[in-house]
Structure 1
């Protein structure tokens, strides 16, 4: 699934770009589109929905804050979002390097060029897939970079993924999550699975991670201690 954002203050421009994108992606399974009419609205949304968008087509000449300003603010929150600037002027091309823009499209956008961008975006997502964990819940679909995960914990029928700024809850079993993640994550308790490199302190019965003190169960103490020690001296990796 490719989750695409379109930000342009002209509704006709948004409609035209979405129509072309839908045509290009007609043979692929699943797309989600998010549309924004202002840079302010885009920045506010991305601040609350990190990880919910893969690719953003961003008009440079927006009313209010410009597309470039919006991209700078977004980059403070999300380094992984693929940003493609859309502009009527080629002069803006070099400004995009500061925010790691994936590409520039000059209006009117040509379908062939847009197709090339989509191809690159899909290839990049395929490349990133082993380094991300996919969460499905009632709020949407999230691709969480493994390096941003602190730990998982089970809560009845739910599993909760914890990052520095947010929790993501989804239905599942911690045993299944552990099998999916394999290297770099250590089971310390029936209810807790931690990313080894995020652990800040290890004591006999607890680990400290992200400011939280989590218990190490007696049954898993030996295996957990060994796995955490190996990770700390660089013999293991989550990648």
Structure 2
């Protein structure tokens, strides 16, 4: 889950950084004290699953609610949690604009309240971006973000997740089509989730946990270029 935190008060950003520390499932967090920086990141292809948006911005013509509506028009899948010290002042306005709203937090933000909303958002993301697998008489849902890589061997797939492995009979081509956005086909037998890649070289790719997988000569250039585009979007 990729998160942006937006607040013109540096103290509030620092506080949110402490509250978010250690929460599971966050792959990247960026902090913005200026809305123009968030706009620039969006222009450069940076996308977020969730934005924690302060409502009042001193010196800005727009408040956070209006800005969130503009952001939503360009990135409707991004979810928002509004944050403010003045809950009564904005209790009606937060529902006026078209925003993918997932909650509302009052400053000072309490850790347990934040985590309940994050749980809610994560559940929505996982339910919309997941594989439905049928194997051994079992139907199982696995979030795309939980898959490290998929290995093909003699018509059998081994799906390596952060919590274990799932084996089933299917062609790797089928899952390459389903997972094309954030996954790399580095080899005829391996499909890798880019969020878990540490580095990619001409003959191998190394994952964050040290796992090394082969990269075929014919797939290296396309894999490298796609991974670089992915990384540029993350910066």
* Pairwise TM-score range, normalised by the shorter structure: 0.5 to 0.7
| The 10-residue stretch of structure 1 (97-106 or 77-86) with the greater mean CA deviation from structure 2 | 97-106
Residues 79 and 170 of structure 1, relative CA distance in 2, 3 Å threshold: same
> Which residue of 1 is the match for residue 226 of structure 2?
none
1:114-133 aligned within 5 A: 114-130=114-130
Q: 1:45 to 1:4 in 2, by over 3 A?
A: same
How many Å apart are 1:73 and its aligned residue? 1.4
1:69 maps to: 66
Structure 2 residue matching 1:79: 3-state secondary structure: coil
The answer as to whether partners of 1:3 and 1:53 remain within 8 angstroms in 2 is yes
How many residues were matched structurally? 147
Q: Is the 8 A contact 1:7 1:36 kept in 2?
A: yes
**TM-score, normalised on structure 1?**
0.52
Cα deviation digits, residues 43-102 of structure 1 (max 9, x gap): 23223325x311111100113232112112101100010100100111213322222321
Q: CA deviation at 1:174?
A: 9.5
- RMSD, matched Cα: 3.4
Q: Which runs of 5+ in 1 are unaligned?
A: 137-158, 163-167, 179-239
CA-to-aligned-CA distance 1:180-207 (integer Å, 9 cap, x gap): xxxxxxxxxxxxxxxxxxxxxxxxxxxx
1:150-195: CA deviation from partner (whole Å, max 9, x where unpaired): xxxxxxxxx9x99xxxxx79752697799xxxxxxxxxxxxxxxxx
Q: Is the 8 A contact 2:3 2:26 kept in 1?
A: no
Unaligned runs of 5+ in 2: 132-142, 149-176, 192-235
- The structural deviation recorded for 1:108 is 0.7
Q: Distance in 1 between matches of 2:91 and 2:39?
A: 21
Matches of 1:122 and 1:107, distance apart in 2: 22
Which position in structure 2 is the counterpart of 1:57? 52
Query: Residues 2-21 of structure 1 correspond to what in structure 2 (within 5 A)?
Result: 2-21=1-20
- Give the distance between the partners of 1:3 and 1:94, measured in 2 at CA: 28
Q: Determine which of 33, 45, 49 is the counterpart of 2:41.
A: 45
The separation in 2 between residues aligned to 1:30 and 1:69, in whole angstroms, is: 26
For residue 133 of structure 1, report the CA deviation from its aligned partner.
7.5
**Separation in 1 of the partners of 2:27 and 2:182?**
23
Residue 33 (str. 1) matches residue 29 (str. 2): yes
Judged with a 3 Å threshold, the aligned counterparts in structure 2 of structure 1 residues 128 and 176 are, in CA distance, closer, same or farther, namely farther
Task: Give, in whole Å, the separation in 2 of the partners of 1:78 and 1:113.
Answer: 26
CA distance in 2, matches of 1:92, 1:4: 23
What is the aligned partner in structure 2 of residue 172 from structure 1? Answer: 185
Instruction: Spell out the pairing of 1:122-201 with structure 2 (5 A cutoff).
Output: 122-130=122-130, 171-172=184-185
TM-score of the two chains, using structure 2 as the length reference: 0.53
Task: Please tell me whether the aligned partners of residues 55 and 65 of structure 2 are also in contact (alpha carbons under 8 angstroms).
Answer: yes
| Distance in structure 1 (CA, Å) of the matches to 2:182 and 2:123 | 28
